[in-house]
Amino acid sequence: MKICVTSEGKTLDSRVDPRFGRCRNFIFFDTKTGDFEAQENTNAQFQGGAGIQSAQLVASNQVKAVLTGDVGPNAFQTLQAAGIVVFTGAAGSVKEAIEKYKKGGFTAVSGPSVVSHSGKQEMKK
């Protein structure tokens, strides 16, 4: 099964990027084979609609679950429509987040964890 982790860098040792829509990279990880692939998030600079575009990008990769820090309303709605389960509160390295996920350490969220444009505020800091 393929899952997606938002990441600051492009390796499994990179830190989890706490933002979803405006994260720097997506890491697509195959839980069966352990293979992974990193993809830069070109939607991060959008004035608006970054979450929606990112959710679509993730959906087009046939992902079943997303691990991230927080997710906004538009992204959540899009991910939900694509049938992707969202887990928030991920932190530390990508590898650690995946291990925690495999052990069932996350609970799926049933709604957005932050308001619109939270990731944009984060970028300004």
Partner 1 sequence: MIISVASGKGGTGKTTVAVNLALSLKNIQFLDCDVEEPNAHIFLKPLIKEKTEAYIPVPEIDEAKCAHCGRCQEVCAYHAIAVLPGNNGQKGSVLVFPHLCHGCGACSLLCPQTAIKEANRDTGVIEIGERNNMQFVHGRLNVGEAMSPPLVRQLKKYINPTRTVIIDAPPGTSCPVITAVKGSDFCLLVTEPTPFGLNDLILAVEVLRKLKIPFGVVINRSDIGDGKVEEYCKQENMPILMKIPFSREIAVSYSEGMPIIKKDASYQDKFINLYLNIRAIKSEANSRY
Q: Could you tell me which stretch among 7-15, 34-42, 44-52, 101-109 binds partner 1 (CB under 8 A)?
A: 44-52
Question: Which one of residues 59, 61, 95, 100 is an interface residue with partner 1 (CB under 8 A)?
Answer: 59
Q: Nearest-CA neighbor of 74 among 44, 51, 107? A: 51
CA–CA gap between residue 89 and residue 94 (Å, rounded): 12
- Classified as helix, coil or strand, 117 is coil
Assign residue 16 a region (left: φ > 0; alpha: ψ between -120 and 50; beta: otherwise).
beta
HSE toward the beta carbon, residue 47, CA cutoff 13 A: 0
Tokens of 47: 């004035």
Stretch that binds partner 1, among 2-10, 43-51, 96-104, 107-115 (CB under 8 A): 43-51
SS3 at position 29:
strand
Interacting span for partner 1 (CB under 8 A) from 9-17, 24-32, 46-54, 87-95? 46-54
The site string for partner 1 over 1-40 (x = CB under 8 A, - otherwise) reads: ----------------------------------------
Of 61-120, binders to partner 1 (CB under 8 A) are 62, 74, 77-78, 81-83
Sites of contact with partner 1 (CB under 8 A)? 46, 48-50, 52-53, 55-56, 59-60, 62, 74, 77-78, 81-83
